[in-house]
């Protein structure tokens, strides 16, 4: 683990299970920077440890800390079939000697195909995977999770539902307040602070915690949240909600509002997990210029937003931008047909 002595932080005394390698690296990317005309620093949350890294590893430290003394022996969660959250819930259950029950909607396509990507890892990690009805809304998802919880209770098990509307959502947001403090320390002494930090917006807890933390610290960096599947108008109240609950838990007067960060939703495209030629090109670009694999679902959209902002001057030439790689690499293998082989994007890079 790359753990080092750190000064007192706001999150220091919160209940927490330690299994993540912190601080995650903040690394330079000179070839990528040269190609974009701006300095890119990459916050490598994908190297955080636990299973295969990612932002969910960090937040589960706090979630498991909250559950430490509650006698929990089973974790229940719902998400997409290629969910990074479900993968790490399965991993932390294995690490802690618990059972994981993962609920997913039906997978489109040929059911006879062997599982790939994160879905394969659920099985390897020993989770119980249950397919629930398609098209469930938020209330339906919660009802499905509570039904499993009731079933397990009748069998004498003590389970916790890891859902954004419950304590899990608060812990997840606090985890990225903690990450904001970590990033702030890593940037100390650099002189001119970075212009902006780009990060994916899925459910909204990660960006809420990061933006709340940076605001509380007085950082001048602008947080650019790149919406993955939901429009800005839908995400603003979600982010404010998550940040307010985290601030209350932390005992802070700081509150986050829409003016404190910039959300962009022009990378949503055809929706969640739909690969486009532009996403394919940016995945190849980051791989060939930095040797780093970014997933098609989340981080490729963030990369595309960053490259667009660099090319049209929203990031001034020569300024510094931070790209937060929140992980999700295993999902890449679900897109093997589209991503494999040579491509125009690769050929255009030539020998650079």
Catalytic sites, residue numbers: 83
Distance CA 240, CA 322 (A): 22
Q: Report the 10 Å Cβ neighbour count for 160.
A: 22
Please report the DSSP string for 58-122 in residue order: HHHHHHHHHHTTTT--EEEEE--TT-HHHHHHHHHHHHHT-EEEEEEPPPSS-TTSPP-HHHHHH
Cβ–Cβ < 8 Å for 349, 286: no
Q: Are residues 299 and 255 in contact, defined by beta-carbon separation less than 8 angstroms?
A: no
- Report the chain's terminal Cα–Cα distance, integer Å: 34
Q: Are 104 and 87 in contact (CB under 8 A)?
A: no
> Is the CB of residue 282 less than 8 Å from the CB of residue 304?
yes
Count other Cβ atoms within 10 Å, centred on residue 57: 28
């Amino acid at each position: 683990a790359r753990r080092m002595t750190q000064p007192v932080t706001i999150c220091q005394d919160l209940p927490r299970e330690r299994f993540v390698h912190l601080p995650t690296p903040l690394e330079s990317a000179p070839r990528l920077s040269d190609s974009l005309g701006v300095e890119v620093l990459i916050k490598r949350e994908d190297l955080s440890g636990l299973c295969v890294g990612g932002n969910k590893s960090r937040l589960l430290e706090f979630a498991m800390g909250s559950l430490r003394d509650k006698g929990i022996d089973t974790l229940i969660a719902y998400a997409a079939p290629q969910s990074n959250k479900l993968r790490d819930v399965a991993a932390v259950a294995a690490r802690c000697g618990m059972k994981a029950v993962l609920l997913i909607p039906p997978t489109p396509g040929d059911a006879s195909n062997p599982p790939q990507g994160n879905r394969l890892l659920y099985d390897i990690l020993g989770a119980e995977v249950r397919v629930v009805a398609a098209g469930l809304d938020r209330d339906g998802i919660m009802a499905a999770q509570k039904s499993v919880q009731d079933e397990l209770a009748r069998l004498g098990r003590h389970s916790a539902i890891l859902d954004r509307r419950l304590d899990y959502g608060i812990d997840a947001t606090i985890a990225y307040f903690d990450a904001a403090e970590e990033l702030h320390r890593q940037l100390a002494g650099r002189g001119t602070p970075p212009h902006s930090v780009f990060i994916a917006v899925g459910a909204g807890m990660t960006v809420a915690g990061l933006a709340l933390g940076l605001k509380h610290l007085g950082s001048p960096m602008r947080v650019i949240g790149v919406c993955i599947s939901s429009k800005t108008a839908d995400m603003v109240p979600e982010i404010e909600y998550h940040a307010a609950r985290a601030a209350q838990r932390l005992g802070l007067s700081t509150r986050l509002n829409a003016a404190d960060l910039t959300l962009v939703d022009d990378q949503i495209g055809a929706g969640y997990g739909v690969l486009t030629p532009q996403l394919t090109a940016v995945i190849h670009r980051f791989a060939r210029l930095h040797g780093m694999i970014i997933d098609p679902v989340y981080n490729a959209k963030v990369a595309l937003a960053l490259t667009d902002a660099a090319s049209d001057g929203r990031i001034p030439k020569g300024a510094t931008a931070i790209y937060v790689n929140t992980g999700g690499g295993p999902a890449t293998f679900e897109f093997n047909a589209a991503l494999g082989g040579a491509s125009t994007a690769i050929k255009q890079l030539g020998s650079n």
